[in-house]
Amino acid sequence: MSKKKQKVPSPFAPHEGPPKVINPAKGIERALVITAHPDDVDFGAAGTVAVLSKAGVNVTYCIVTDGDAGGSDLGTTREQRAALRRREQTTAAEQVGVSDLIFLGYEDGKLEANLALRKDISRVIRQVRPDRVICQSPTMNLDRIYASHPDHLAAGSASISAVYPDARNPFAFPDLLEKGFEPHAVPEVWVMADPNPTMAVDTTGVIDQKIAALRSHDSQVGDGEHIEELLTTWGRQTAKMAGLKKKRTAEAFRVVNTQ
């Protein structure tokens, strides 16, 4: 009798069912958030960051560009806009308990997931040595085109490539090793704005901090009157998807195991 042929598991295992609500601070001490622009983290993950900070997790922001192509004031220079947006992001970070910010200074609107960016992010990972990286999605989502800004995609792709394989590989960018940046393996990545999230964080208790963080970006949101309604609506939609009770808010991520 012939043996029954075993089914080969697919390397692509889509998540089925609603995202699982978890405690984001469990089992970690340090987290690194990497985004393309100032304000990206506040739209996508400031609630989760606030939860982490309250639980004693050390959170560092790595902002790849200074957002110098953002805003509508035609009377300012790129340098002036960059300085303003750095100040706004620093203020926003304070609202959610973050004081450690690293600005890489790339030019807004021209970001590419090239070796130079991968090297810079690898250096930051080796410096911060996080237990988790939170970054943007490298995959274009045509249903949420604003989340798929080319800079977002480039920052997401470079971040994941820096996590695996660059930051952990002693033979990648050997000059980093020569300068004392020892390899570091990040166990997991949480991807923002992914169309297939696997995990959610209840942000109901920190939604006011998330709103305050985003309102700190005056150059982008103006008087911010619409921000509370916008973020609350999005948060409740995400919470409903995750099976939370009515009027709860949440943020969702796709968890990538990189061990």
The total of structural domains in the chain comes to: 1
Quick one: pLDDT at residue 138?
Answer: 96
18 occurs within a structural domain: no
Q: Is residue 117 part of a domain?
A: yes
Nearest alpha-carbon partner for 81 in 22, 141, 39, 131: 39
Q: What is the CATH number of the domain that holds 206?
A: 3.40.50.10320
13 part of a folded domain: no
- Burial (CB count within 10 angstroms: exposed 0-12, middle 13-18, buried 19+), residue 2: exposed
Cis? peptide before 11, omega within 30° of 0: no
Tokens, residue 15: 């998540």
pTM of the model: 0.92
Q: Is residue 42 a contact partner of residue 143, using CB atoms and an 8 Å limit?
A: no
| Predicted confidence (pLDDT) per residue in 172-215, tens digit | 999 999 999 999 999 999 999 998 999 999 999 999 999 999 99
Report how far residue 250's alpha carbon sits from residue 239's, in angstroms, rounded to the nearest whole number.
5
| The predicted structure's pLDDT at residue 15 | 52
Considering Cα of 98, then 109, then 132, then 128, what sign does the dihedral take? negative
Q: How many CB atoms lie within 10 A of CB 177?
A: 15
Contacts of 117 (CB under 8 A, 6+ apart): 64, 104, 106, 111, 154, 155, 158
**Residue 198 maps to a domain:** yes
Residue-level pLDDT at 222: 85
pLDDT in tens, 212-227: 999 999 999 988 789 9
Q: Which residue is listed with tokens 């089992």?
A: 27
Domain-embedded: residue 15: no
In a domain, 5, yes or no: no
Report residues of the chain scoring pLDDT below 50: 1-14
Residue ranges making up the domain that contains 93: 24-257
Residue 19 lies inside a defined structural domain of this protein: no
Q: Is residue 73 part of a domain?
A: yes
Q: Which of 90, 92, 70 is nearest to 81 (CA)?
A: 70
Q: How far is CA 54 from CA 73, 99, 149, in A?
A: 36, 13, 31
Match 């237990």 to its residue by tokens: 131
